[in-house]
Structure 1
Amino acid sequence: IKYPMDLFTINLKLKNNQYTSLEEFEKDICLILHNCYKYNDIGSEIYYSGEVLESDFNKIWNEKLILQKKQTRELKRVRDNDTDADSSFTSKL
């Protein structure tokens, strides 16, 4: 396997805070799946396990991304409100 990756390595990278972005984490998961499909026969148990992992990952990942986007919008709204309040306070001085 030219570019190996496994869940144990991903777990170590998570524990050691080695991921600097969500995209890096997602890329490693995708690499596992790519290797699974490339090096195992369609219909094999490992290939099928890769399909299950991919389906489960995509479902959970998309839910987390939606939640993160919602939290980011909420944080921006709060910051914008704080900025508006600061501007209002400053203009009264």
Structure 2
Amino acid sequence: MAIQFLVHEPGDSVGVVVVEGVEAGQELTGWVMENDATITVTVKDAIPIGHKLALKDLAVGDTVIKYGTDIGKVVAPIAFGGHLHVHNVKTKRW
């Protein structure tokens, strides 16, 4: 089984795409590193390698969790399987 995205901890709200050419509607397999589990997600958008995908629906103001840590806040709604990047997530630092 090929792994197309990585998740650090089971409670994370995002995974990181590790393959090129991900297109909307594609079903991806992810590896949850902490507990050695796999999950599948059908992506809503094309997602470049190194970018994040949502593992649940995220509303404006929600906190994005990666590595079990707060990495930012949602500034535009993101559907389960959607693309997360600077257009819809911002740091809380400023």
TM-score for both structures, normalised by structure 1: 0.23
Higher normalized contact order (CA 8 Å, seq sep 6+, divided by chain length): 2
- The structure with the largest strand share of the pair is 2
Rg larger in 1 or in 2?
Answer: 1
- The structure with the largest helix share of the pair is 1
